[in-house]
Amino acid sequence: MRYLIVDGMLSGTGVRDATGGGYVRLAGLGISPKVVETIINWLARYKTAHYRQFADPREVEALDDIGLALCDRLAHELPGSKIGYFSAARMEKLRSV
């Protein structure tokens, strides 16, 4: 079983391997191009929020909502994998599916 974490860290790809360490290449995950595009766009928004020092709580909430939805989509597209979400803005794990 793979255990993956969705997160918006600046240096990452948006998905990291929780057991093996490091970020995974989105192209190598076997997920749909639409999900890859959603992750890339979400990371761009997360980066902007980071440089604003996560000053807008509504923006952070919206980003976390997208991140949690990405967990659900990845769990659907990667059956047999455990998918978690870490909020880089809040610096806390919010969910595991």
Residue 96 banded pLDDT, cuts 50, 70, 90: low
The helix/strand/coil state of 85 is strand
Q: Say yes or no to pLDDT of 2 above 60.
A: yes
10 Å CB burial of residue 7 (0-12, 13-18, 19+) is buried
Write down the domain spans for the chain: 3-96
Render pLDDT for 60-89 as a digit per residue (tens, 0 to 9): 999 999 999 999 999 999 999 999 999 999
10 Å CB burial of residue 73 (0-12, 13-18, 19+) is middle
What angle do the packed helices 57-77 and 33-51 form, to 10 degrees?
160
The helix/strand/coil state of 53 is coil
Render pLDDT for 15-64 as a digit per residue (tens, 0 to 9): 999 999 899 999 999 999 999 999 999 999 999 999 999 999 999 999 99
pLDDT value, residue 97: 52
Q: Say yes or no to pLDDT of 94 above 90.
A: no
